[in-house]
Structure 1
Amino acid sequence: MQPDPDQRRAAVRLDQLQKELETESPGGLLAQLFGNKKRDPQGVYMWGGVGRGKSMLMDLFVDTLKISEKRRVHFHEFMLEVDALIREERQAEVTGPIGRVAKRLANNIRCLAFDEMVVTNTADAAIMARLFTALMEDEGVTVVTTSNRPPHDLYKDGLNRSLFLPFIDLVERELDVVPLNGPTDYRLDRLGDLASWHTPLGDASTEQVREAFFRLTDYAPEDAAHVPSGELELGGGRKLFVPKCLKGVAVFSFKRLCGENRGAADYLAIAREFHSIILVGIPLMGPDNRNEAIRFTKLIDALYEQGVKLFATAEAAPENLYRKGDGAFEFERTVSRLKEMQSDDYMARGHGVPG
């Protein structure tokens, strides 16, 4: 632990919210006079780059909050639960299913804490304003959340984003927006001396990138079977399945990203969405793998330009991946970038910060 002014400001704000929640007496005289809308403490929206301490502060807040009516959940898991509840209500032919879902979610909950609010698909974007208006304004739930982005950048460039704008207005009206976007990435300390490029392919290399995933996401290794998956919208109605996806960290196979027909726009969408990529199964390439090598080059260009941290398992060191074939000479630029991406200076770059 070390002094950090942004973290201190966030801690002071969370401490104030704790006291407000703990002082409240639900159903008391003031609640009877004014109702939930007038009594609920203002929630908090903490945003900042990876490794800034948002999850740590969230954990401290929830763990020390002395009320029983609280819940902490990863945002991705919460929205999957919402989708399932909406389907239940619609099957029961209930009118106003989102209001009913909000009421069910708010049962015995006064404070709902989300880690890593991020919106990647149109379905979630379309319902979030109505859902969270019902949760906060109708049901009186106080929301605390973390995100890598400020509210106005959520679902940026997403399809039908106009449907999502009321949610941004709601967040900026109902939550105190607290930035933690300083230059220090404390999560890098957790990586310690863990390398980012691992050869050859095999169990030992796989174990190393697996360890990197758990250090970057704070996810419990013993619960590895339940790491969530996700979907990323690529535009034109296309979606990319993300096998493992948590807190801005995504796991892909080389085959999925470079063995299928993809272009630079797809790789840019990936690089903008995730601050860290774990890429497994990079093979040796030759004349028969010309297309895969070209796609790999485009992928690395996109990751490099966006400052994405890359952890990889590969058959060989970068300079030995593609020695013969069309574009082998040009591939040397990719080799240079791959080596730079392993450096301390590159790893300390913020996501989306040009080199």
Structure 2
Amino acid sequence: MTPPPDAQPATAAGPEARTLAQGPLPALRARIAAGDIIADPAQIHAAEMLQDLWRRTRGYDPKVEPPETGGFLGRFFRRKPVDEAPVDAPLGLYLVGEVGRGKSMLMDLFFASADVARKQRIHFHQFMQQAHQRIHAWKKQHGDTADPIPPLADSIVAEAALLCFDEFQVHDIADAMILGRLFEALFARGAVIVATSNTEPDNLFKGKPGRDAFLPFIQLIKKRIEVLVLDSARDYRRDRIRGLPTWHVPPDGRAERALDAAFAEMTGDVPAEPCKLTLLGRAVEVPQAARGVARFDFNDICGKPLGPADYLAVATHFHTVVLDGIPRLGPDNFDKARRFITLIDALYEHRVKLVASAEDYPDRLYERGENAAMFERTASRLVEMQSQDYLALPHLT
């Protein structure tokens, strides 16, 4: 799987760059010494565990059979099975904690310093989208009775023996159905997996239909990946957003620059990429996404025939939404207003943080005409979503 641009962390500079060759822990200490971040005992402990994994993976290069032919199809259509996990395959690490605790920053340091020839960092949702695309290509070529999992695992490990997943979450039944066999095959081929998540393994896919069949995957994760809870008391994401205005009027060039800056601040300047949220055969297009932050133009998300399930998918996949160009609302564009109300309900109920530009302040967006009273609750929620108390709330997935 070719990593997207946002799969690569920003290039380190200064003392950190000089220490990356020594592993993530010295790089973190250099960042602390430079005054870039405050020393956090929970982060230091996590960096110590990542440092141990860094040592165990130095030069790690599990052998894979060369493709029979070049290119994507050659990698994907190899079929040689591997039945047992290599004895010397290092255990991975599953770093779990609430939003804003520094998980992505630690993953940056580990990935940048990892001495593994074949490595990839990718958002887990995007990884699964690519997996489904490859499975579809395999079945189209070989029919529905052919098993796509072994060649899929072959191709993934041929490209990356170290897989670093951001935002490990399972919301889609289609993902849940293949994860157990896919990960078993990846581990059998020597893959090492490092993941960040807001959800402990035992709570993955909790409360969803079909979860009983998903439980063996949870046990596999706990067997092949060490789990560390990043129990930091400080929400660094909240610190970043606390100093940022979250509602900009009017939606002019100044507001656009402010939203650009907010998006960069919330994502750590990681380049954004478009993505799709797929649910029940439908796809919600996200124009820009990185590190749990999504950015939409108002018409991208409220000018299309989307419904509550689509907005729920956005609210559960992203802890922050940046929204450009909310217009004045009223009877003339009530379809858009109704979708906007549904969107805000979903974001509010899942404690998603909102940074937006608009034609006016919330209580003046929909002042007159039929259904103006309906908007009063939405206006109240939009005001509350700008409060420090709301910004301090954890994201609910």
The TM-score, its normalising length taken from structure 1, stands at 0.81
- For 1:214, the aligned partner's letter is A
Q: Do structure 1's residue 201 and structure 2's residue 245 form an aligned pair? A: no
- State the shift of 1:341 in Å: 1.4
CA separation of 1:329/1:2 partners in 2, compared to 1, >3 Å: closer, same or farther?
same
- For 1:325, the aligned partner's letter is G
Which residue of 1 is the match for residue 3 of structure 2?
Answer: none
- List runs of 5+ in structure 2 lacking aligned partners: 1-36, 64-83
Instruction: Give the Cα separation in 2 of the matches to 1:261 and 1:74.
Output: 27
Correspondence for 2:124 among 56, 75, 83 = 75
Q: Write out aligned runs for 1:1-355 (5 A).
A: 1-22=37-58, 36-93=85-142, 95-107=146-158, 109-136=160-187, 138-156=188-206, 160-161=210-211, 164-191=214-241, 193-221=243-271, 224=272, 227-233=273-279, 238-259=282-303, 267-329=311-373, 331-352=375-396
Which residue of 2 is the match for residue 30 of structure 1?
Answer: none
Instruction: Give the Cα separation in 2 of the matches to 1:63 and 1:329.
Output: 53
**Percent identical across equivalent pairs?**
43
- State the shift of 1:43 in Å: 0.9
CA separation of 1:73/1:335 partners in 2, compared to 1, >3 Å: closer, same or farther?
closer
The TM-score, its normalising length taken from structure 2, stands at 0.74
Q: Does the residue aligned with 2:177 lie in a helix, a strand or coil?
A: helix
- For 1:205, the aligned partner's letter is A
Q: Does the residue aligned with 1:118 lie in a helix, a strand or coil?
A: coil
Q: Does the residue aligned with 1:11 lie in a helix, a strand or coil?
A: helix
Instruction: Give the Cα separation in 1 of the matches to 2:371 and 2:58.
Output: 64
Contact 1:230 1:244 in 2 (8 A): no
- List runs of 5+ in structure 1 lacking aligned partners: 28-34
CA separation of 1:26/1:229 partners in 2, compared to 1, >3 Å: closer, same or farther?
closer
- For 1:186, the aligned partner's letter is Y
Instruction: Give the Cα separation in 1 of the matches to 2:270 and 2:335.
Output: 38
CA separation of 1:244/1:156 partners in 2, compared to 1, >3 Å: closer, same or farther?
farther
Instruction: Give the Cα separation in 2 of the matches to 1:263 and 1:23.
Output: 49
- State the shift of 1:87 in Å: 4.4
Instruction: Give the Cα separation in 1 of the matches to 2:141 and 2:349.
Output: 49
Contact 2:237 2:266 in 1 (8 A): yes
Deviation readout 1:11-46 (Å, 9 max, x if unpaired):
22212222222387968xxxxxxx744322211111
Instruction: Give the Cα separation in 1 of the matches to 2:60 and 2:363.
Output: 63
Instruction: Give the Cα separation in 1 of the matches to 2:315 and 2:88.
Output: 42
Q: Does the residue aligned with 2:295 lie in a helix, a strand or coil?
A: strand
Which residue of 2 is the match for residue 32 of structure 1?
Answer: none
Deviation readout 1:125-150 (Å, 9 max, x if unpaired):
322221111111x2011111112222
